[in-house]
Amino acid sequence: MSNTIFDKSLPLAIGSDHAGFEYKAHVIDTLKAAGWQVADKGTYSLDSVDYPDFAHPVATMVEEGKAGVGILICGSGNGVCMTANKHHGIRAALCWNEELASLSRQHNNANVLCIPARFVPLAIAEKMVDVFLSTPFEGGRHEKRVEKI
**Whose CA is closest to 12, among 108, 134, 120?**
134
pLDDT, position 81 = 98
Let me know if 81 is a catalytic residue. Answer: no
CA–CA gap between residue 102 and residue 44 (Å, rounded): 29
CATH code of domain 12-148: 3.40.1400.10
Per annotation, catalytic residue among 18, 56, 74, 87? 74
CA–CA gap between residue 21 and residue 25 (Å, rounded): 6
CA–CA gap between residue 47 and residue 32 (Å, rounded): 24
pLDDT, position 92 = 98
Question: Domain spans of the chain?
Answer: 12-148
pLDDT, position 2 = 53
pLDDT, position 3 = 61
Let me know if 74 is a catalytic residue. Answer: yes
pLDDT, position 148 = 79
Regions in the chain scoring below 70 on pLDDT: 1-4
